[in-house]
Amino acid sequence: MIAFKNISKSFGKTKILDQLNLELLKGQSIALIGPNGSGKTTLIKCLLGLVVPTSGKIQIEGVNTIGSWLHRSNIGYMPQIGRYPDNITVMQLFEMIKEVRKDTYTKLDEELLHSFDIFKFENKTMRSLSGGMRQKVSACLAFMFDPEILILDEPTAGLDPISSEILKEKLKKELTKGKLVLITSHILSDLEELTDKIIYLNEGKIVFFKKVEELKSETGSINLSKAIARIMELQNNLS
């Protein structure tokens, strides 16, 4: 579904992504992890069209996305920190985004608006929201237009336990529909619960792309956290 072909990105003399090749398929739930500065955010921004690669191609369903923005209508993106106009109310924000995207969707998915009880604070301005409330708004917007691709950056950060479980259950439901989900998170227990494959980036290169169970078996670990720690330890010893 998504193919990264020889993607490189440099900022000045600093190379962030280095000849990266990757193929992601429908129905997969994939975790993107790696140390700070490994290229995770840059890779996501390239996919979203917010950063243009220095070289290489990104294709969705065989169509080149670089220099085009039409593919973004089929992506639901939940940023780690959502930035919205301060004085707009929650409901005004939703209505504005619906209006902007009115030609790019056929149905709305407003399940999370009800599950999160968004209507209890729909008239509050974005400036007045707590971090957790803002996360709920970002989640609702990511799922609202029923996209085939979901990209979630630290999705449970700032959410209370109940809201976190609501979001996890929603993600599991979307996976049964054959959607592609890409998650970045430092909460490895969430990744183990929600993803079946792990991409590990380091210095702009893919160190491995493997199934969670395969990683645990190779490292003799009972959970993903211990497996990743073991692999990072081995990587540090080799460097």
Exposure letters 143-164 (e unless 16+ CB within 10 A, then b): bbbebbbbbbbbbbbbbeeebb
Predicted local distance difference test score (pLDDT) of residue 238: 63
Q: Give me the phi and psi of 165, to 5 degrees please.
A: -70, -35
Cα–Cα distance for residue pair 170/159, rounded to 1 Å: 14
Question: Which is nearest to 148 in space by CA: 173, 179, 171?
Answer: 179
**How, if at all, do strands 2-11 and 14-24 pair?**
antiparallel
Half-sphere exposure of 37 (CA within 13 A, CB side): 4
Predicted local distance difference test score (pLDDT) of residue 232: 75
List Cβ neighbours of 218 (8 Å cut-off, separation of 6 or more).
210, 227
Number of CB atoms found within 10 A of residue 100's CB = 9
The sign of the CA dihedral 44, 46, 49, 51 is positive
pLDDT in tens, 59-78: 999 989 988 878 888 999 99
> Quick check: 55 pLDDT over 70?
yes
Cα–Cα distance for residue pair 133/117, rounded to 1 Å: 10
Q: pLDDT > 70: what percent of the chain?
A: 98
pLDDT, average across residues 207-233: 87
Half-sphere exposure of 197 (CA within 13 A, CB side): 16
Helix (H, G, I), strand (E, B) or coil at 36: coil
pLDDT, average across residues 44-56: 94
Point out which residues pair with 149 in neighbouring strands.
75, 180
pLDDT, average across residues 155-166: 94
Predicted local distance difference test score (pLDDT) of residue 123: 97
**CA dihedral defined by 132, 137, 138, 143, rounded to 10 degrees?**
130
Ordered by where they begin, the domains of the chain are: 2-238 (3.40.50.300)
pLDDT, average across residues 124-150: 96
pLDDT in tens, 87-112: 999 999 999 999 999 888 888 999 99
